[in-house]
């Protein structure tokens, strides 16, 4: 199969045929954003708000929803590695180090615990618990007869060592393997690796089916599982897919699940995530936003998506990859910081990662002030500390982070008894992240068709 050349050819061309709307120009005009990290370049598309985007108007309510289930647990056990290696931060941090930068050396929380979100998807009609990740694009499940291997990918361990969940494990593809054969090979930022054959199966999420979807079956894995999930559903763009030709060894870009759902006419090119506060649940809505009982939707912010060009992934030079925006700034303790930096919105990252000076200033505004602990690359304060009022400013609107969410009282340093804050140091080079702590306080709308991210304030 020939590589997909652009996201626009794949998604919007098909969308135009379905809707009668003219396809978007490809590629978009770009303006380079200076001071990018090593190995990464941010480019701002010009005039990317298109026909699907109406500023300050919330998207329509979707009937295609799927419950999210929070999973608390150890993300990795490798000393000195990235505990959340599947997050966008880990992927870009690894790329930065390869390009001569520092990147993230130790993204972690106390006791190396963090949060991931799972959904129940149907794989050829069979329910399968899978991690939901907006920072990757591939969808795969572990095969029943898989090999769990060590870090060197040679030493074979018991299957239980990879800690996949129980229940259904696919044995084959519903429509058979890809022909000519295509292989999946994914190397995550923390050293995790999954590899295996690729083929076609029906994947159903929220009553929407991606028919004959190209997916992977992992036959060999080096994996830090949670004993609950048995695969990953990636919601990022085609530029981040990891298919490889078995004939040439070259990388082959393909249509991921969400793109396929749109191109087949199942939904409009938008999805949204609402993470519930103080619970272990949330909602994924395909084609619109969820109707959440007891929640009123407030003001709507709309920001252009930014092209995040990763040197090691040539396709990202002109296509969207991660969900990246540029906030207006941050407001804290009656202070407004208006320095502009790109931030990646990522459901796979627990904390918010900010530029060092800004992170230190916000943490200093806690009472008592939070202090930086290099062991965890995080700030800690008294577990009963009083947090400052903190908001990220998007499209002129202040999105407040609930003070309850700013101190992780269940994540205490065993040596000091202090608790970790939700505002972390993203380093001089970044990447900077709006993680779960932010997403708990806003309805996040990924308006792919418009090339914008929308954020809806949530009021209870």
Q: Which has more confidence, 151 or 68?
A: 68
Instruction: Specify the CATH number for the domain of residue 160.
Output: 2.40.70.10
**Highest-scoring range by mean pLDDT, 1-5, 381-385, 411-415:** 381-385
Alpha-carbon gap, residue 423 to 433, rounded angstroms: 10
Q: Single out the catalytic residue among 346, 425, 436, 447.
A: 346
Q: Report residue 5's pLDDT band, with 50, 70 and 90 as the boundaries.
A: very low
Least confident of 192-196, 253-257, 271-275, 308-312: 308-312
Average pLDDT, the chain: 78
| pTM summary value | 0.80
Whether 431 shows a pLDDT value over 90: the answer reads no
- DSSP 8-state secondary structure symbol assigned to residue 81: S
Q: Single out the catalytic residue among 133, 138, 304, 436.
A: 133
What pLDDT is recorded for position 99?
42
**Average pLDDT, stretch 79-103?**
43
**Shared-domain flag, residues 77 and 117:** yes
What pLDDT is recorded for position 363?
98
**Shared-domain flag, residues 201 and 323:** no
The 10 Å Cβ neighbour count of residue 247 is: 9
**Domain-embedded: residue 392:** yes
**Shared-domain flag, residues 347 and 410:** yes
**Shared-domain flag, residues 97 and 212:** yes
**Shared-domain flag, residues 368 and 454:** yes
| 276 is an active site residue | no
- Of 325, 360, 297, 336, the closest CA to residue 432 belongs to 325
- DSSP 8-state secondary structure symbol assigned to residue 261: H
**Shared-domain flag, residues 369 and 252:** no
**Shared-domain flag, residues 296 and 441:** yes
What pLDDT is recorded for position 82?
33
CB contact at 8 A, 430 and 413: no
What pLDDT is recorded for position 344?
86
Alpha-carbon gap, residue 235 to 134, rounded angstroms: 5
**Average pLDDT, stretch 102-129?**
65
Give the tens place of pLDDT for each residue, 54-69.
444 556 889 999 998 8
Whether 79 shows a pLDDT value over 80: the answer reads no
Which among 268, 301, 332 is the end of a domain?
268
Domain count across the chain: 2
**Domain-embedded: residue 36:** no
**Average pLDDT, stretch 275-287?**
80
**Domain-embedded: residue 194:** yes
**Average pLDDT, stretch 372-377?**
84
Q: Which domain holds residue 306?
A: 285-459
What pLDDT is recorded for position 457?
82
- Of 268, 297, 304, 263, the closest CA to residue 285 belongs to 268
- DSSP 8-state secondary structure symbol assigned to residue 9: I
**Domain-embedded: residue 22:** no
**Shared-domain flag, residues 336 and 430:** yes
Give the tens place of pLDDT for each residue, 287-306.
998 886 666 667 889 998 88
**Domain-embedded: residue 165:** yes
CB contact at 8 A, 142 and 164: yes
**Shared-domain flag, residues 263 and 298:** no
Q: Which has more confidence, 17 or 42?
A: 42
**Shared-domain flag, residues 142 and 91:** yes
| 202 is an active site residue | no
Q: Which has more confidence, 229 or 192?
A: 229
Q: Which has more confidence, 248 or 189?
A: 248
CB contact at 8 A, 252 and 238: no
What pLDDT is recorded for position 315?
57
Whether 72 shows a pLDDT value over 80: the answer reads no
Whether 218 shows a pLDDT value over 60: the answer reads yes
pLDDT more than 90, % of the chain? 40
**Shared-domain flag, residues 183 and 294:** no
**Average pLDDT, stretch 383-412?**
92
Whether 166 shows a pLDDT value over 60: the answer reads yes
């Amino acid at each position: 199969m020939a590589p997909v050349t652009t996201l626009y050819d794949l998604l919007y061309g098909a969308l135009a045929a379905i809707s009668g709307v003219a396809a978007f120009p490809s590629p978009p005009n770009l303006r380079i954003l200076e001071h990018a990290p090593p190995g990464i370049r941010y480019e701002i598309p010009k005039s990317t708000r298109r026909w699907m985007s109406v500023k300050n108007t919330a998207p329509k309510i979707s009937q295609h929803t799927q419950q999210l289930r929070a999973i608390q647990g150890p993300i990795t056990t490798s000393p000195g590695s990235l505990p959340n290696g599947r997050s966008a931060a880990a992927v870009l941090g690894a790329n930065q180090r390869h390009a001569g930068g520092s990147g993230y050396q130790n993204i972690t929380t106390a006791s190396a615990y963090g949060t991931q979100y799972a959904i129940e998807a149907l794989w050829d009609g069979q329910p399968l618990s899978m991690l939901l990740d907006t920072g990757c694009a591939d969808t795969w499940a572990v095969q029943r007869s898989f090999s769990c291997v060590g870090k060197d990918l040679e030493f074979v361990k018991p299957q239980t060592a990879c800690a996949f969940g129980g229940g259904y494990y696919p044995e084959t593809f519903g429509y058979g393997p890809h022909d000519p054969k295509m292989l999946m090979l994914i190397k995550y930022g923390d050293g995790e690796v999954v590899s295996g054959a690729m083929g076609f199966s029906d994947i159903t999420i929220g009553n929407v089916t991606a028919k004959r979807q190209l997916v992977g079956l992992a036959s060999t894995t080096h994996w830090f599982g949670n004993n609950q999930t048995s695969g990953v559903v990636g919601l990022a763009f085609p530029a981040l897919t990891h298919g490889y030709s078995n004939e040439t060894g070259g990388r082959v870009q393909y249509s991921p699940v969400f793109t396929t759902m749109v191109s087949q006419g199942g939904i409009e090119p938008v999805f949204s995530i609402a993470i519930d506060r103080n619970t272990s649940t949330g909602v994924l809505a395909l084609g619109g936003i969820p109707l959440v009982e007891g929640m009123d939707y407030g003001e709507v912010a709309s920001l252009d998506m930014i092209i995040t060009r990763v040197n090691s992934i040539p396709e990202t030079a002109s296509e969207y990859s991660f969900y990246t925006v540029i906030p207006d700034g941050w407001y804290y303790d009656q202070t407004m910081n208006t320095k502009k930096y790109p931030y990646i919105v990522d459901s796979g990252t627990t904390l918010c990662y900010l530029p060092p000076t800004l992170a230190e200033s916000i943490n200093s505004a806690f009472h008592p002030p939070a202090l930086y602990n290099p062991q965890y690359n995080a700030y800690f304060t008294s577990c009963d500390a009083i947090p400052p009022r903190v908001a990220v400013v998007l499209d002129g609107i202040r999105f407040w982070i609930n003070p309850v969410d700013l101190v992780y009282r269940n994540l205490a340093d065993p040596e000091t008894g202090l608790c970790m804050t939700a505002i972390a140091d993203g380093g001089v080079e970044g990447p900077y992240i709006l993680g779960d702590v932010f997403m708990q306080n806003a309805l996040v709308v990924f308006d792919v068709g418009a090339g914008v991210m929308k954020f809806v304030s949530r009021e209870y």
